[in-house]
Structure 1
Amino acid sequence: MEGNRTLLLKQSEVESLIDLSDVNRLVDLTFHGMGEGTVKNPPKVSLDLGETGNWPHYEGFMNAMPAYIGSLDVAGLKWVGGFEGEREAAGLPYITAMILLVNPHLGTFLSVMDGAYISNVRTGAQVAQAIRYLFRKDHITLGLYGAGMQARKTVRAVADAVHIDCLHVWNHREETAQQFKEDMAEVVHGEIIVHEVSDQAGPCQAEVVVTLTPAQEPLIRREWVQPGTVIFPMGSYQEIDDALILEADQIIVDHPEQALHRGALKKLHTNGQITLDDIDGTLGELSLKETGLANIDKQITLCIPIGTGAMDVSVAYEVYRKAKEAGVGEYFDFVG
């Protein structure tokens, strides 16, 4: 018995213990739990450390994301943030994160582990599972804005769940997108098309369009998007224009209250133009259905999985379980 001892796991150990198929399976399990009501997931609490230009001027933020997963009987918290400024100058990645797992019976801390890798892979898995729920078919065409680390994780997760017939890529630096094409050739068995910087509308010809950028100005305009398109605006700011949001036929989210306060919907919600009444459903609800979203081929759909602590806790618990089996990590007694 570990008693009060807590298992400490570093990023390389976390990476060695989990694969994309595991993550896709656990994200699916967690969405089902959210649909069934066996997951508790309060909205994330944000600490502004200069992200919006206000004091203190550290160009960053931290989010606290707690959750309880009934099917796994575990509670936890991800403490995650993004920083530019001094962190960028130090050569550190934008995202920083830790995940703490708690025994919900005793309140003892089971594990503390790096959370950056889990954050990246579960974000991609959320898109992958959402595509499955929305379409209920095994192949799609995919349009992508962004060609960084998160884009790579997302494409890998989607390719693990469905066949990508064609991948359209746009990035503000075309050379980065060309390198992305080379790197993803082993993952995407369909055609990969890199659009020139001047062809910003190019990826919008796909069935599914995903934005994975730090852009603070809209990348996609309403007139580029045709009925039958599903848009995933995954950035922390607003990567699509107001008209596209306001004229969308349906809006699907992972967590209604949370989705209104960060990302694509935040500004319009603050202005009173988008409310809870404008949310048409959740991914948890869709995960329980055997058919895809009605009229998806005739309408414009926004799908916004803003990210929940429940996904992180579920994946982290699997890492913890595998670490114990493999004897990976170090135990520490914080209580003494």
Structure 2
Amino acid sequence: MKERNTLLINQSTIKELLDIADFNNLVHQTFQGLGDGTVINPTKLTLDLGETGGYPPYEGFMNAMPAYIGSQDIAGSKWVGGFLGERKAAGLPYITGMILLINPHLGTFTAALEGAYITNMRTGAQTANALRYLLKKPTVTIGIYGAGMQASTNIRAIADLFDITELIVWNHRRSTAEAFAKKMQEHVKGVICVVDDAREASQADVLITVTPAQTPLIKAEWIKKGSIIFPLGSFQEIEDELILKADKIIVDHVEQALHRGALKKLTSEGKLSENDVFATLGELAIGKKEAGDLSQGITICIPIGTGAMDVAIAGEVYRRALEKGMGTAFDFEA
């Protein structure tokens, strides 16, 4: 392939080249890079296309997420977003994305990859790796709120690193939760329960919220000591009181996590700052900090999502695709 050609890589090729263990390993390595400073990851930039009800009225958003990965000596950016409205009516998945890679020496575009699949898979791998750094045991019970794609990738990734002895599923539509439970049975070694009362799911060791809810699902009074909570949705899925009473708050990217999702409101009100963040997942990944004993407190962990994960994974896909002669070369300068 000519040096200035761009390799186009579709979703089916990515699925063929990487399995769930690959995603977990690449995310772990990237957390280490964030911890030791060899990964550069600016804060993501959002283009609001009506997600919050403003102008224009397209019920969507797009994020620009650039990064440089030192271990691979590669740079790139993901352009990714979610749309309801017309996209949902057309039967298209909520998430849409593309990842562009460049040679950081020359600035040439080396690859363009479908980005939604990588986004969904690395989202699950982020949670799994966070638990790698937080849990001191090989088994875990999980209460999951939501039963969509990212719920699925979270369970698949966690099951690659831990034995799930119980999975409690809550979803606003029970039929969706039941279908999800059936699909997850091959990944869960223990029992799977579908519940109608959201409180029942809160008694697991680990709580994961992956919903579009804009009002709190989980109440502070429900949470027992030793709980680890992952509010992964873009909005407010847990009560502010729960955040304020947490013993430890752990994030992947301090600036991003404080101004998005669960922590956004409290930060804007001046009730939360970077001083309230106990550690980053990068610091835990390289042993710069230790999570310690979490059994007597409440831990909130927010891997809000970084472009570094996407670029690192895309870089490995690109390398393997070159080795195997996969993908389609295209000359944009022809």
Residue 243 of structure 2 is matched in structure 1 by: 245
Contact 2:283–2:289 under 8 Å retained in 1: no
Q: Give, in whole Å, the separation in 2 of the partners of 1:82 and 1:132.
A: 29
Deviations 1:77-116 (A, max 9, x none): 0000111111111111111100001111111111001000
Q: Give, in whole Å, the separation in 2 of the partners of 1:30 and 1:104.
A: 18
Q: Give, in whole Å, the separation in 2 of the partners of 1:121 and 1:136.
A: 24
Contact 1:135–1:292 under 8 Å retained in 2: no
Residue 209 of structure 2 is matched in structure 1 by: 211
Report % sequence identity.
59
More displaced, 34-43 or 130-139?
A: 130-139
Contact 1:133–1:291 under 8 Å retained in 2: no
Deviations 1:12-70 (A, max 9, x none): 22222211100000000000011111100000001111111111111110000000011
Q: How far apart are residue 295 of structure 1 and its match?
A: 2.6
Residue 35 of structure 1 is matched in structure 2 by: 35
Q: Give, in whole Å, the separation in 2 of the partners of 1:301 and 1:220.
A: 14
Residue 304 of structure 2 is matched in structure 1 by: 306
Aligned-CA RMSD value:
1.2
Q: Give, in whole Å, the separation in 2 of the partners of 1:289 and 1:228.
A: 21
Q: Give, in whole Å, the separation in 2 of the partners of 1:137 and 1:67.
A: 33
Give the secondary structure class of the aligned counterpart of 1:76.
Answer: strand
For 1:225, the aligned partner's letter is: I
Residue 281 of structure 1 is matched in structure 2 by: 279
Residue 267 of structure 2 is matched in structure 1 by: 269
Moved over 6 A (4+): none
Q: Give, in whole Å, the separation in 2 of the partners of 1:177 and 1:328.
A: 37
1:69 equivalent to 2:69? Answer yes
Contact 1:218–1:238 under 8 Å retained in 2: yes
TM-score by length of 1: 0.97
Q: How far apart are residue 304 of structure 1 and its match?
A: 0.2
Q: Give, in whole Å, the separation in 2 of the partners of 1:82 and 1:61.
A: 6
Q: Give, in whole Å, the separation in 2 of the partners of 1:67 and 1:267.
A: 27
Q: Give, in whole Å, the separation in 2 of the partners of 1:37 and 1:258.
A: 17
For 1:237, the aligned partner's letter is: F
Q: How far apart are residue 292 of structure 1 and its match?
A: 5.5
Q: How far apart are residue 191 of structure 1 and its match?
A: 1.2
The gaps in structure 2 that reach 5 residues or longer are: none
Q: How does 1:315-326 map to 2 (within 5 A)?
A: 315-326=313-324
Q: Give, in whole Å, the separation in 2 of the partners of 1:78 and 1:5.
A: 19
TM-score by length of 2: 0.98
Contact 2:218–2:237 under 8 Å retained in 1: yes
The gaps in structure 1 that reach 5 residues or longer are: none
Give the secondary structure class of the aligned counterpart of 1:205.
Answer: coil
Residue 25 of structure 1 is matched in structure 2 by: 25
Q: Give, in whole Å, the separation in 2 of the partners of 1:151 and 1:233.
A: 12
Deviations 1:239-290 (A, max 9, x none): 0011001111110000000001111011111111111111111000011129
For 2:117, the aligned partner's letter is: Y
Q: How far apart are residue 136 of structure 1 and its match?
A: 3.4
